[in-house]
Structure formats: C-alpha cells, structure tokens
Structure 1
Amino acid sequence: MELYQLQTFVKVALTGNLTDAALQLNISQPAASAHIKALEQITGFPLFYRNSKGMTLTERGTKLLEEAQQILFSIEEFYKKAQELRKDSAETIRIGLNTDGNLLQMDKMIRHMSERLPAVEPHFVNTRSEDFLQDVAALKINAGFYYGKVADSHIHSVKLHSCPMVVVYPNSWDVPDRELTLKDFAEKSWIWTTQGCPFHQQAMDYFLERDMVPKTIMYVDNETLIGNLVQQEMGCSLLAEPIAMQFVKENKLKVWKGIDLSVDLSFGYPKDRKRDPVMNEIVTLLQEIWKP
C-alpha cells in the first residue's frame, strides 16, 4: 500500500467525483482510477459504488475512510515534527566583527559557510578588539576577529593578515611639496584610538622611539568615525590601509604610506573548542579566504 493511494482514496471519498479528485491532487484521471483499483485489490473488496453521478463509498469503504484520514494526519504531523527538529538542530554560532565587513571579506565567509556548514546559523556581532576576551568570557560571542595579540592561555588564535598602517589626513591640508616625513604630521592634531585598542600602544611606542609625541585632540574607537572626522578636518590619524583606501576611493581624504607600522588581524576562539568540527571548518575556510 502506497501513501498516494490513500491520498487519492480520501480525496475521491470527499469529492464523490474521480475527475475533481484528480484535479485537486494534480494527477490525471486515469492515474487516480488506477490508485483506487490498486487499493481495492489490496483490501480485497470494492471501496466505491460507481454510477453516472459519480462515486459513493461502500459500507466497508466508509469504515476505512476514517482510518485512512487518521493515517494521513499522522504522517503530516510526522513531517511537521521532523521540520521542527531540523530547525532546532541548527547550531548557532556568534562571531564578533571588530571592523568593516568589507575588510573582513564577510561576503566570502557567509557564502562559504552557507555551502559548507548549512546546519550552522551564524550570528554576526559588532565588537571591539580590546573587548574580545571579555566578550568571549561573557558568552556574547563564541569566536571573533580582533587586532593585535591576545595573551590568554584559554584562547586559540589564528593569524589571518598583517595590515599595514597609514597616516590619513584631510584633502584640504597644505602639505610640503617635498617628500613627506612623520615630522610633518607630528605637530598636527591627532585623532587617536582609545587606550585599549591595539593600535594605540603600537602607535604610541612608534612615536616615542622617534622622540615624538603626537598632539592628541580626541580618542575614538571606531575606524569609520575616525575617517569621517579626518574628512571634516578635525585632525589626522592612523588607519589600517584597506580601510583608509576606501576613503581615498571616495575622495574623502589622503594617505601617507611612509609609516613602518602594521597590526595583525586574527581570528580567535576558546581552546576547548579546538576539536570542534564546526570551528575547525570555519578556520579552514577563513585560511582559504585569507591565503596570500
């Protein structure tokens, strides 16, 4: 006995017409008739009286109708439950994004995850590099991107890229025609990253090693906001080169690449998930995306 035979039996019983039942089931009338005949062979007795007005259930057919409806209902409930379980089985993973999605190549990451980890439901959360450890400990994120280094024995880190830093300054600034040096910017007003940011200490050490102390006008912890403030002539700043070049393409500011400074972009997660197949697959696809 096949499921489609029961479906046809119930539909014919409810409509009383083989043609109408076939239309509703989106099958041909001969196919519907064949389903009924096959079912009657299985049961060993007629299920319908056939006449010029249509088809009516026999007494035995009437007794089987409720059973058939109950079977179809149970199967429908089975499919619904399976769908719920499949939905519930999707693993949620929260990934922290510390900078612009274009720089992190999120379009590629999302595409690869949908292809290779279809049962994983990623949630992307805006975070800051300096808050990475805190966010992981608080379960705000399960893993994430961050700049600099994380000195914690419970975190496994994978370096993805070393981002060159550049000086960004307003288009309107009158800079010397000769080759620029860091001294040309040292006396300018600077928009500095917050003290917890990996940029901050690296950049400060870089200036101090050269006996320079930048004039700070404000602290900002958002790269896009820094770029916009530089465009508004509030000062100059340091940005990762990919971020800076986006502003350059839009003719919002200028860059000087003469500073020998870079910061590492890494992806990290708790070491107790190092054997987790989902986390391993995410790391593998990130390494493919960021390979030299």
Structure 2
Amino acid sequence: MELYQLVSFVVVAEEGNMTRAATRLNLSQPAVSAQVKSLEEELCFPLFQRTSKGMKLTQEGVILKTKVDIVLRDVDDLNNEVEKMRGNAFSKITLGVNTDPGLLRLKDIYKKLTDQYPDISLTVQESMSWDVVGKLNSKKIDLGFSYIVPHDDRIDAQLLGEIDLTVVGPEAWRSLLDGKTEKDLAAFPWVWTSEHCPLNMILTEFFESIKEQPVKAIVVDQEAAILKLVSDGVGLSVMPSNKVKNLEHQYGVFSVAKLNKRLKLYILCLKQRKMNHSISIFLDVIKDVWRVGD
C-alpha cells in the first residue's frame, strides 16, 4: 500500500468523480483509475460503487477513508516538524497571482520575505481566481491570491483588502465619452467577461442597477485581453483602477468613470497546510504588507 494510492483514493472520494479527481491530482484519468483499482485489489474489497452519477464510497470505503484522513494529516504534520527542525533552509513557496503584481503589492511582499527570511525562496505562478483551488489541491501552488471565496471547507480564505474599479475605454474615444452618464455608457458596446470571472458579477450588477441591457461585443476572461480589446476600440469594460492608471499609456486606454463597487481580494491556502512552517511564515508576511488586523 503506497502513500500515492491513499492520496488518490481520498481525492476520488472527495470529488466523487474520476475526471475531477484526475484534474485535481494533475494526473491522467486512467492513471488515477489504475491506482484505485490496484489499492482495491491489494485490500481484496471494493472501495467505490461506480454509478452513472459518479463514484460512491462503499461501507468499507467510508471506514477506510476515516483512517486514511488521519494518516495523511499525520504525514503533513511530520513534514511540518521536519521543516521546523531544519529551519528555513531550502524552503520553497509557490504563490499563485491572479492579476498585476503591482496591484498585489508583490514587490513589498518579496522585499519583506527576503529581508526577514532569506532562506525561503519564492516562485510566482499565474493563477486566475477560478483556478486557485484546483492548484492548491494539486499542490502546484502553496498559496494563491483570489477575488473569489470558494464554497469549499478545505480552503482557508483571508480577506486582504478591497480593489477600486473603473470603467475603462479606448483613448481614441475620450472626447466621445466625455461627460457621459452611466446610462449613456450602457449604450456603447462592452468587452464582457465569462461567467466564472469575478468581473462578470460586477458588470452584471452594474447594468442591473441602471436597468439597462448590455451590448456584449465579445466575451473574454483575461485582463490583458480585456485591455487589448478596449484599446482596439472593441468596447468599454471594467478593470481595477490602479491597473488602468499604471497601464493607460502602454495600452492607450483611460479611466472613464469610477464604479461604486469593489472587488474583494483574498489569499487562499489549504486549511490542512496552513500551519506548515514556511506557508505560515509567508502568510504572515502577506498579511503584514496588507496591514491585515491594523
């Protein structure tokens, strides 16, 4: 019985679906299926009932999962104790970033980390808000910035602050947009965002508040793509105010009107890994930079 088999078993049990489990584990579906089958053969009893709705634990599977959960927590605790005993030497943290580094205060975070904990190395990986949970579960990242709080009791979410938003338009439209009311702006074409993007809710609420229907010129979900399309005159959109201010000359866009809505920014990590020595240190660094609790 191998540890990786137990991990796969627990993830399949939690997801109730082999495809989602494979995505979370960053493995192919046949590989996960083979690991579970091998474990069942070794134990000589089935762990799951395969149904049209997914994977359901058998009675034996329920009992085993309770025991395996304890084993995996003990393994995490052991790794954490080993890390504490060796200090911060060779510790590595991978951080998921969902937007512009300046907006996330990444420069200040990095400086504080290297000044106080020079033996902890930092790797940054682009992770959209809707990807953070999957990457945390597959351990591709240790922590991740997000505009979304997932409905997942395995995730710890710490509110860092709120991000001001603005309607952004192409510089070529400046005279055309000057003095326009919110209802006037609603008549223009808009660069919309996909449903899983946090800005989608902001845009939807904005149009509901002025009782207008948007003209959706195109739907995208990447901030860089939004800025480029706005710059090209495809339509208006909504972006973080500071990002527009920092990039207006580069992209040829400008802030048309400030919105009275804000995005909330969170830092997410797995609850079971929150007390990991390096993760705990880095979480404190992020909260200090964002002055959480002041």
CA pair 162-136 structure 1, distance change in 2 beyond 3 A: same
Deviation of the 1:163 alpha carbon: 0.5
Deviation of the 1:246 alpha carbon: 1.3
CA pair 152-246 structure 1, distance change in 2 beyond 3 A: same
Tell me what 1:29 maps to: none
Tell me what 1:18 maps to: none
Tell me what 1:209 maps to: 209
Matches within 5 A, 1:192-231: 192-231=192-231
Tell me what 2:186 maps to: 186
SS at match of 2:172: coil
Match for 1:146: what amino acid? Answer: S
- TM-score, length of structure 1 as denominator length: 0.64
Partners of 1:269 and 1:250 lie apart in 2 by: 34
Matches within 5 A, 1:57-72: none
* Contact persistence 2:182–2:210 (CA under 8 A): no
CA pair 177-103 structure 1, distance change in 2 beyond 3 A: closer
Which sections of structure 1, spanning at least 5 residues, go unmatched?
Answer: 1-85
Tell me what 1:151 maps to: 151
Residue identity (%): 23
Deviation of the 1:275 alpha carbon: 2.3
Tell me what 1:110 maps to: 110
- Note if 1:241 corresponds to 2:250: no
Partners of 1:132 and 1:105 lie apart in 2 by: 18
Tell me what 1:263 maps to: 263
* Contact persistence 1:181–1:258 (CA under 8 A): no
Q: Which moved more, 1:244-253 or 1:225-234?
A: 244-253
SS at match of 1:259: strand
Tell me what 2:176 maps to: 175
Match for 2:176: what amino acid? Answer: V
Deviations 1:171-226 (A, max 9, x none): 12243654x32112112111112211111123213312332221111122221221
RMSD: 2.2
Tell me what 2:69 maps to: none
Deviations 1:84-108 (A, max 9, x none): xx9x951222110111112212222
CA pair 155-97 structure 1, distance change in 2 beyond 3 A: same
Partners of 1:279 and 1:138 lie apart in 2 by: 16
CA pair 176-98 structure 1, distance change in 2 beyond 3 A: closer
Deviations 1:62-92 (A, max 9, x none): xxxxxxxxxxxxxxxxxxxxxxxx9x95122
Deviation of the 1:128 alpha carbon: 0.5
SS at match of 2:259: coil
Match for 2:148: what amino acid? Answer: G
Deviation of the 1:287 alpha carbon: 2.0
Match for 2:162: what amino acid? Answer: S
CA pair 176-240 structure 1, distance change in 2 beyond 3 A: closer
CA pair 181-148 structure 1, distance change in 2 beyond 3 A: farther
Partners of 2:139 and 2:207 lie apart in 1 by: 37
Deviation of the 1:256 alpha carbon: 2.5
- TM-score, length of structure 2 as denominator length: 0.64
Match for 1:278: what amino acid? Answer: S
CA pair 251-200 structure 1, distance change in 2 beyond 3 A: closer
Structure 1 residue runs of 4+, over 4 Å off? none
Which sections of structure 2, spanning at least 5 residues, go unmatched?
Answer: 1-85
* Contact persistence 1:149–1:264 (CA under 8 A): no
SS at match of 1:288: helix
Tell me what 1:42 maps to: none
* Contact persistence 2:94–2:140 (CA under 8 A): yes
* Contact persistence 2:165–2:258 (CA under 8 A): no
* Contact persistence 1:182–1:259 (CA under 8 A): no
Q: Which moved more, 1:207-216 or 1:188-197?
A: 207-216
Partners of 1:104 and 1:229 lie apart in 2 by: 23
Match for 2:216: what amino acid? Answer: T
Partners of 1:176 and 1:134 lie apart in 2 by: 41
